[in-house]
Chains A and B, each alone.
Chain A
Amino acid sequence: MGEMMIILLNAILMENLVLKKFLGICPFLGVSKKINSALGMSVAVTLVMLAATAITWPIHTYIFLPNKLQYLRTIAFILIIALFVQLVEIILGKFFPPLHRSLGVFLPLITTNCAILGITILNVDDNLGYLDSIFRALGGGLGFALALIVFSSLRQKLEESNIPKAFKGIPAALIAASFFSLSFAGFSGMVENMFGKA
């Protein structure tokens, strides 16, 4: 269990998808103006990330690897993610209309979210086991959620403050993200000290 915790915390804090690996920057900047949208986006991304990893890992390990078809992974993974997102949208719309209303709008955007494709490819590239991959995906999603939600509350303050005109909007948000990322650098080494080296 300790090992899983290390992978999880590592993915949330030290290898934060948004702030350290630069995956999913578009939603990070685009959907962080209101805290409600940030929440919806985070939940949708975490769920799809988990499911996408759960589906793509066995396909890569049991179909592509034995047949030396690894080069197909980019095409196959993006298709699987697109199909899965479409499927989830249909199921949500049919059986859970309230959930569809709050999450559905974020789903189509997720297909082209590089965090999802990124995590699935990183997992098979690093030769992680199935459980490890799932935990890393969960940590990646939670890390994305943490960054997005904290940042969206920061941005609401930023919108109201008086800053030079040329910096208004995205430039100011990027510089705020810079300090945010710097503060996450403080977590490096923390997990090893808590649980011992992986």
Chain B
Amino acid sequence: MSFLKTFTNGLLKGNPVLAMLLGMCPVLAITTTVINGIGMGAATIFVLVCSNTVISSLKSIIPKQIRLPAFIVIIAGFVTICGFLLARYFPDIDKALGVFIPLITVNCIILGRAESFASKNSVAKSALDGLGMGIGFTGALILIGSVREIFGNGSWMGINLFSRDAAVSFLTHPAGAFFVLGIIIAVTNILTKKMSAEKTGCKECPVSDACGKKEES
């Protein structure tokens, strides 16, 4: 794969949220506003690029049997750094995202890229892959956040667009998150002519090889 392809893979075709259905928890939880989505996306890009780079450069040192715990510790380290930076420079976003900042550690996009890409590819390619995947993730967050904020709250990025009385506040509730994501994935299916997203179960889990369980489908 060329460098350009490595980068663009995560944007559309291999989009972690819309095509691979990974990292659903933050996608559903924090997309009530666009700003939160951008904050979460930026934090994830930071952790993803750093962890991919470090894991790729350490891939020959980390013993194969304990690679998953090692990856998780590296990722958790960068998540802690990211939490410090957010709390210092963007306290509002830090408050709004709350527990979902430490939970970036267990976002399956990050562990998945470490396992399936960074542990097999060069440092530069891994960093690019992390950047592409992170931007694809952020794009999906902004898309879902926009739909929910515009129709659910009558505003975009905090700017009032129309009266709140005309907005469907259902969309800002947890139930609305499931609803919007379902519709968006269905529309993605139509646009990409891939008629069904039958990608669930352990086979699609990025760490399925490591956990040796594949009969569930």
**Residue positions of A touching B, CB distance < 8 A:** 19-26, 29-31, 33, 37, 71-75, 78-79, 82, 105, 108-109, 111-114, 117-118, 121-122, 125, 164-175, 177-179, 181-182, 185
Docked-complex contact B200 and A165, CB < 8 angstroms: no
List CB contacts (< 8 Å) of B187-209 with chain A. 187, 189-190, 195-202, 204-205, 207
Could you give, for residues 65-78 of chain B, a 1 whenever the CB lies within 8 Å of some chain A CB and a 0 otherwise?
A: 00011001100110
A86 and B134 CA atoms in complex are apart in Å by 30
Least CB distance from A164 to B in Å reads 8
Docked-complex contact A166 and B80, CB < 8 angstroms: no
Docked-complex contact B28 and A112, CB < 8 angstroms: no
- Given contacts A31-B216, A109-B202, A171-B186, whether A75 and B76 have CB atoms under 8 Å apart is yes
**Residue positions of B touching A, CB distance < 8 A:** 21-22, 24-26, 28-29, 68-69, 72-73, 76-77, 79-80, 83-84, 99, 102-103, 105-108, 111, 170, 173-179, 181-183, 185-187, 189-190, 195-202, 204-205, 207, 210-213, 215-217
Most buried by A among B176, B200, B205: B200
Can you pick out 27 interface pairs between chain A and chain B where the beta carbons lie within 8 Å of each other? A22-B177, A23-B103, A26-B25, A30-B201, A30-B202, A74-B80, A78-B76, A78-B105, A78-B106, A82-B69, A108-B210, A109-B211, A111-B68, A111-B106, A112-B106, A113-B106, A114-B106, A114-B107, A121-B103, A122-B99, A167-B182, A168-B197, A168-B198, A169-B196, A171-B189, A178-B179, A185-B173
Docked-complex contact B174 and A117, CB < 8 angstroms: no
A21 CB contacts on chain B under 8 angstroms: 29
Q: How many A-B residue pairs have CB under 8 A?
A: 164
A74 CB contacts on chain B under 8 angstroms: 76, 79-80, 83, 102, 105
Minimal Cβ-Cβ distance residue in B for A21: B29
A24 and B26 CA atoms in complex are apart in Å by 10
Among B185, B201, B207, B216, the residue within 8 A (CB) of A112 is B207
Most buried by B among A25, A33, A182: A25
- Given contacts A75-B77, A108-B213, A118-B99, whether A167 and B186 have CB atoms under 8 Å apart is yes
Least CB distance from A38 to B in Å reads 11
B215 CB contacts on chain A under 8 angstroms: 105
